[in-house]
Amino acid sequence: MNQLIEINSSEDILSAYQNTPISLLIEYHNLNKTFDDYTEAELLVGMCMDHRKHLHIPDNFSYIIRTGGANLRYSEFKVSYAISVGGIKHIALIGHNNCGMVNLVSKKGQFIDGLVNNGGWSKERAEEHFNNFAPMFEIGNAAEFVTLEANRLRNKYPNVVVAPLFYNVDNNKLYMIEE
């Protein structure tokens, strides 16, 4: 079982991530570390598209890919670009509580009605769309998903340090996930 680690000081950051762009991310966001100046990105952040999350980080510090549930499976070319062309050697994957990609089946009616009412779709087309794509984007437990996704990316990019993190939308803090 994954455990969330509250970060109230730099010493709370897991040793594997000390003195890396991942620890800087947490220090900037949680500990109000004074911003340094960056001309090139140090980090790739993969995080959910949820509107309730905002990172407190300096300009030019990171590439950010926002996708439902921090699921980077369908953004691998962008990840590869950040690593190859951008020189990125660290990735922070950030899941969060109350994620809409958890238990998508419970949102099926709302999803269909929303596409009909807001998107102008037919009910049949909206239902087919949901049925075709929801299984690809359902993440189950958010903390477990980002841990599994971190492991998948570690296997795909063995020279890149990948850290699973968790954002609490209730207090706007980042937590480390002890794997």
Q: Can you spell out the DSSP letters for 150-168?
A: HHHHHHHSTTSEEEEEEEE
One domain, residues 81 and 162? yes
Three-class HEC string of 105-145: HHHHHHHHHHHHHHHCCCHHHHHHHHHHHHHHHCCCCHHHH
For residue 31, with 0-12 CB atoms within 10 Å meaning exposed, 13-18 middle and 19 or more buried, which class applies? middle
d(CA 57, CA 23): 12
Looking at residue 114, what is its pLDDT? 97
Residues 122 and 95 in one domain: no
What is the per-residue pLDDT for 140?
Answer: 86
Rounded-to-integer distance, Cα 61 and Cα 127, Å: 40
> Are the CB atoms for 131 and 138 separated by under 8 Å?
no
Residue 16 and residue 87 share a domain: yes
Same domain, 98 and 122: no
Answer yes or no: do 37 and 125 share one domain: no
If asked whether residues 108 and 149 sit together in one domain, one would say no
Which pLDDT does position 46 carry in this prediction? 97
Same domain for 123 and 52: no
The reply to whether 33 and 76 lie within a common domain is: yes
| Domain count across the chain | 2
Shared domain for 18 and 94, answered yes or no, is: yes
Query: Does one domain contain both 45 and 61?
Result: yes
Predicted pLDDT at 71:
93
- Name the residue range of residue 153's domain: 3-102+140-178
Q: What is the CATH number of the domain that holds 76?
A: 3.40.1050.10
Residue 144 buriedness (CB in 10 A; 0-12 / 13-18 / 19+): middle
Q: Mean pLDDT per 10-residue run, the chain (179 residues)?
A: 88 96 98 97 96 94 95 95 98 94 93 97 97 91 94 98 97 95
Residue type at 79 in one-letter notation = V
* Domain co-membership, 42 together with 88: yes
pLDDT (0 to 100) of residue 22: 98
Same domain for 64 and 109, yes or no, is no
